[in-house]
Amino acid sequence: MKKIQLLLVAIISISLITSCGNSGKKQNNEKKTKALTGAGATFPQPFYNTIFKTYTKSKGLLVTYGGIGSGGGIRSLKDKIVDFGATDAFLSDKKLSEMPGNVLHIPSCLGAVVAAYNIPGKPELKFTPELMEGIFMGKITNWNDAKIAQVNPGANLPDLAITVVYRSDGSGTTFIFSDYMSKVSSEWKEKIGAGKALQWPVGIAAKGNPGVAGTISATEGAIGYIGSEYAFAQSIPVASIQNQAGNFIKPSVESVSAAAAGDIPDDTRVTLTNTTAEQGYPISSFTWLILYKEQAYNGRSKDQAMQTKQLLKWVIGQEAQIQTSKVHYAPLPEKAVLKANKILDLMTYNGRGL
């Protein structure tokens, strides 16, 4: 009899423990989300600030975004301290294998990296790939250099030293710019290469797109690479860049969209730099929001996972995409939207589709 009583006590205890565990899990799964948090690239930050403000106002769900650079966005997702990261440089196969879970890439818009400069009189300038190599590698050191004058006849070029400004932090904007430079200059590819953080031969460093734009504005003779919105917002002149077809192209919604005319892989990881499109701006790029395919991690509730999916579906939808051109970005082409929707439909919570 005593053995039976002990057995009943053990069964009840196990039941209570299991019940309590299930209750906690149930409560966690049913926990309602009040806010979502993202962090990463500063290149698309003006667009994200605009649309997330709209989303918060219309949906009643607070969405906060921190512009800490693409490298910081990837680290934040790896550390699982954000709902989504943001990067202008997609993760390579090697980087993906180093993440603690399967990572999805969702393109959010298209943008241009521009060569912005500060010289007296603000003359309109054109740069060939050879001039870009010469200036940013420190081989052309003065604005009145004969090579610049040859491409820009009639431009009032001052006798003024050139100061190159580059990013100090891990930057997707740096990746886009250096990816372009590596495609048009074998010397750049060999000596500097493409990446989010590089060893620059000349120049001064500044943090984030806002930091580089501010340094250019404050430094007579400066030139640097920044997202187009930062140049337009501060009225900093930007150069037309000669593309593969030989045309000098200004960064615009139309020329950036033209650069995305080619095929897009199913995972959307593709570079658009040095486009073959005749009217395409050659330093154009997608920018991505990144998140885990399996959303049940770090105590996330199912509602949190569903809200994350709904937010990203909204970002690639018409209501958000129509706002791209207001802040000098370009909307996603239809083929990118279709692929992004399919990727979002892969999201799971405890292995089950959301």
- Report helix, strand or coil for 152: coil
Residue among 215, 132, 225, 129 nearest 174 (CA): 225
Answer whether CATH 3.30.1330.60 is correct for domain 117-259+270-284.
Answer: no
CA atoms within 13 A on the CB side of 253: 13
Q: Classify 301 as helix, strand or coil.
A: coil
Q: Write down the pLDDT at residue 262.
A: 86
* pLDDT for res 197: 93
CA distance 195 to 91: 11
* Domain spans of the chain, in order of start: 35-111+285-353, 117-259+270-284
Q: What is the DSSP string of 236-292?
A: --B-EEE-TTS-EE---HHHHHHHT-S---TT-----TT---TT--TTEEEEEEEEE
Q: Which residues pair with 348 in a beta bridge?
A: 294, 353
- Residue 265: HSE in the Cβ half-sphere, 13 Å Cα cutoff: 8
What pLDDT is recorded for position 147? 98
pLDDT tens by residue, 81-131: 999 999 999 999 999 999 999 999 999 999 999 999 999 999 999 999 999
Question: What DSSP designation does 234 have?
Answer: T
**Considering only 3-12, 171-180, 268-277, 286-295, which range has the smallest mean pLDDT?**
3-12
Are both 35-111+285-353 and 117-259+270-284 of the same fold?
Answer: yes
For residue 85, report the phi and psi dihedrals to the nearest 5 degrees. Answer: -105, 175
Kindly report the CATH number that applies to the domain delimited by 35-111+285-353.
3.40.190.10
Using the predicted structure, report yes or no on whether residue 4 has a pLDDT greater than 70. no
pLDDT-derived band of residue 29, with 50, 70 and 90 as boundaries?
low
**How far apart are alpha carbons 144 and 132 in whole angstroms?**
15
Q: How far apart are the first and last CA of the chain?
A: 50
User: Region 219-230: what's the mean pLDDT?
Assistant: 96
Q: pLDDT of 293-352, one tens digit each?
A: 999 999 999 999 999 999 999 999 999 999 999 998 999 999 999 999 999 999 999 999
The pTM of the full predicted model, rounded to 2 decimals, is: 0.85
pLDDT, mean of residues 252-269:
94
